[in-house]
Structure 1
C-alpha cells in the first residue's frame, strides 16, 4: 500500500497553511505555521511571483495532502467526478469526503487521517458488520461504520474520541453504543459539508489543472 512518508510539518510549511496532519499538535504552539515558518528549502525565504500554473498546482497539492491521497488516486477520483452531471469540483470534494479513512476521522474515532488510515488498514473498523481494510473505500449513505469490539481497537477509538477537536459533520451521525463506537452516513456530503479546515480551497482551479 503506497503512502507519503515525507515529514508532515514540511508539507504544511510548503503550502503555507495548516493541513492538520498531526492531530492535537497542530492546535498547539509547536505548530511551525503559527511561528511564521518559511517554506522549506534553501530558497524558502526568497519571494518570487507564482505563475498561474503554480497557483493551480499549489491548490491541487493542498487538497491531496490534506486528504492523504496520491496522484494516481486523485486522477481516479477526478475521472469519477467528471461522470456526474453535477458540478465537477463539488463532486470531487464529495468523493474525498466519502473515503473510509476520512469518515473514521470525522466521526472522531481517530485524531487525524493518518491514524484513521492505519486503523482501517489494520482491520480495526467494520463497515456494515464486515471488516474493511481499504482506507480508500467509498462509504455510501446508510452504511454503518463501527469499531471492532476488541480491546486494542476500542482503546484507539476511545482515545480519539477523548481528544477529538473537530465537530462531526451533518452528513454523519455518531450512535451511542455501549459495545463499541459506531456511526453512519445519512446522505452524500455536499460542498457545505467539506471539512471547514480546508473549506477555503478553490476547487475550480484544481479542475482547471486536472483537465490538462
Structure 2
C-alpha cells in the first residue's frame, strides 16, 4: 500500500509541473493524464512569470531529490566558480554521487541511489562511499559492491533502466562505471529552461 501511495505522489508532482522527471523513478506520469492533478487540473489558468520560474526550480528539486537549502547552496557555489553559473550548476548536480549511481543504471531512482550509498553498497575509486551529495570529477570510478549486485532493485534496473547511459559516462558489465567527460546542461534528462532558473534566483537575491 505504501508503495502505491508513493508512486501516486510522484506522479502528482510530475503532473503538477507538466514534466516527466526520470529521477523520481517509475515512468508514465503524463501518459494517461497530461495535466495537473485535482478536480480542476485540466482547466488551470496560465501561470504568472513568477509561477513559471518557480516551476522550473521545483523541477530541479524534485528530479535531484533536493531540499531548498541544498539547492541554494549549489547555486551559491556555482556562482562563485567564476564561469557560466547555470552551466556550472547543471554540472555539479549531474556529478553528485547519488545522481551518478542513478545515471550509471545502478538504481531505479535518485532516492534509491541515495539509499544504496547510505547503506554502504557503493564504492568510489575502490573505497566505500557514504555521502550521496559528494560531487565527483572526471576520472572517478563508481561501482556496486559484490554483495549488492544481486539485489532485486539492482537487477531490475539493469534489465530495464530508466534512462540510457549518457555520453559523459562509461560502464562495463561488472557494474563499474567511470566519468569520462564533464556533463553539460544538455545532459540534464528533462526539459527545463535555464533562463527561468537564472531569473528566479536573480529576483530573489539568492545568486
- 2:66 aligned counterpart, secondary structure: coil
Select 1:141's aligned residue among 97, 118, 138.
138
Structure 1 length as normaliser, TM-score? 0.84
The answer (yes or no) to whether the contact 2:24–2:63 under 8 Å persists in 1 is no
In the other structure, the counterpart of 1:12 is: 14
1:207 pairs with 2:207: no
**Count of residues paired in the alignment:** 195
Shift of 1:176: 3.8
Shift of 1:49: 2.7
- 2:22 aligned counterpart, secondary structure: coil
Q: Distance in 1 between matches of 2:187 and 2:55?
A: 22
Give the direction of change, closer, same or farther, for the CA distance of 1:117–1:83 in structure 2 (3 Å limit): same
Shift of 1:83: 1.3
Shift of 1:20: 2.8
Which consecutive segments of 4 or more residues in structure 1 shift more than 4 A? none
Give the direction of change, closer, same or farther, for the CA distance of 1:49–1:160 in structure 2 (3 Å limit): closer
Shift of 1:163: 1.6
Moved more, 60-69 or 37-46: 37-46
1:88 pairs with 2:85: yes
Q: Which runs of 5+ in 1 are unaligned?
A: none
C-alpha root-mean-square deviation of aligned residues, in Å? 1.9
- 2:149 aligned counterpart, secondary structure: helix
